[in-house]
A and B are shown apart, each in its own frame.
Chain A
Amino acid sequence: MNDKPADTIEIIVNGEAQLFEASLSVAALLAKLGLPAKKIAVEHNLEIVPKSAYGAHMVDAGDRIEIVHFIGGG
């Protein structure tokens, strides 16, 4: 992941660096990751992104994204 091509950007998703072609919206990011927008929550650089903003909210190089959902727990 260190030798990234010049025309890509790196975004940290759930703690792992991932390469994308350019900055993109949260909606586009979820689509690329194959995740349904329902049933999850997204945090961008420690700020919650409301579901209604997924289309307009842009993610850039070096940004940190957390995508969470509900799992079993006590």
Chain B
Amino acid sequence: MGLKDEKLVIAGREFSSRLIVGTGKYKDYAENAAAAEAAGAEIVTVAVRRVNLTDKDEPMLVDYIDPKKFTYLPNTAGCFTGEDAVRTLRLAREAGDWTLVKLEVLGDEKTLYPNMPETLRAAELLIKEGFEVMVYCSDDPILAKQLEDIGCCAIMPLAAPIGSGLGIQNPVNIRLIIEQANVPVLVDAGVGTASDAAIAMELGCDGVLMNTAIAEAKNPILMAEAMKNAVIAGRQAYLAGRMQKRLYADPSSPIGGLI
């Protein structure tokens, strides 16, 4: 990058990549690993689920995406209560021996919109237990501030519903959340294509988290690379500072010396 960028710092850990990718919905773990590589991601989200007792030869994520190379970010996807989320992350901490986690407490099956009162309660419990909580949340600036005040290490408002690919629906709120935050803000969920990721970064987001936009692309590896470039381009544009918009034209060639 022409201008030397700062690293993304989350809970004291430094990352060069500002793109976090999920590991769900891929054809197989091999494609998943190739996409994470192409995205240049350093953090991948993972789910905690029961071990399959009947098919022990089932492929394992850790054999494809090396937890020593990628930071595993355990999530609480599928949890609808604070208790479920806390229980899941306690297990994740025991399985992986790390404390950086992604909290999401869902409130509705159809929209997968976060249940914010439960999210706040679970975040408090987790932080008391020593977890470093990156939190999936609604795009309400007041709630985002409350999450930061209780000690969340990253605020992750949705761009649009999980898996919808609709892009940033409320750029005004995302910008307000960024403006007030003293911890990283990452858009999490709802990104559909590269321009959505670039818009998030141009708004001043510190990073973007996505899964479906890459996994459900016709060519996930190529889309992963596109997302990597979009996040870098958006970040550069944000740092460069865009021109002012004008209502009318302003010639690019000088008027003087016209024949």
Residues in chain A within 8 A of chain B (CB atoms) = 13-16, 33-35, 39-43, 46, 48-51, 66-74
User: Is A72's CB under 8 angstroms from B87's CB?
Assistant: no
Complex Cα distance, B75 from A41, in Å, reads 15
The verdict on B47 contacting chain A, using a C-beta distance below 8 Å, is yes
With a cutoff of 8 Å between Cβ atoms, the chain A residues found around residue B72 in the complex are 70
CB distance from B24 to the nearest CB of A (A): 4
Complex Cα distance, B95 from A50, in Å, reads 9
**Closest residue of B by beta carbon distance from A72:** B23
The verdict on B46 contacting chain A, using a C-beta distance below 8 Å, is yes
A39-B62, A41-B92 known; A72 vs B48 contact (CB < 8 Å) = no
What secondary structure prevails in chain A residues at the interface with B?
A: strand
A34-B56, A35-B56 known; A43 vs B46 contact (CB < 8 Å) = no
What secondary structure prevails in chain B residues at the interface with A?
A: mixed
20 contacts between A and B (CB under 8 A): A16-B53, A41-B92, A66-B50, A68-B51, A68-B95, A69-B49, A69-B60, A70-B48, A70-B61, A70-B62, A71-B48, A71-B49, A72-B29, A73-B22, A73-B23, A73-B46, A73-B75, A74-B23, A74-B45, A74-B47
User: Is A72's CB under 8 angstroms from B50's CB?
Assistant: no
Tell me the residues in window 71-95 of chain B with beta carbons closer than 8 Å to chain A beta carbons.
72, 74-75, 77, 87, 90-95
The verdict on B236 contacting chain A, using a C-beta distance below 8 Å, is no
Tell me the residues in window 16-34 of chain B with beta carbons closer than 8 Å to chain A beta carbons.
22-26, 29, 32
A39-B62, A41-B92 known; A72 vs B51 contact (CB < 8 Å) = no
With a cutoff of 8 Å between Cβ atoms, the chain A residues found around residue B212 in the complex are 74
Which of A15, A71, A72, A74 has the most CB atoms of chain B within a 10 A radius of its CB? A74
Complex Cα distance, B227 from A66, in Å, reads 37
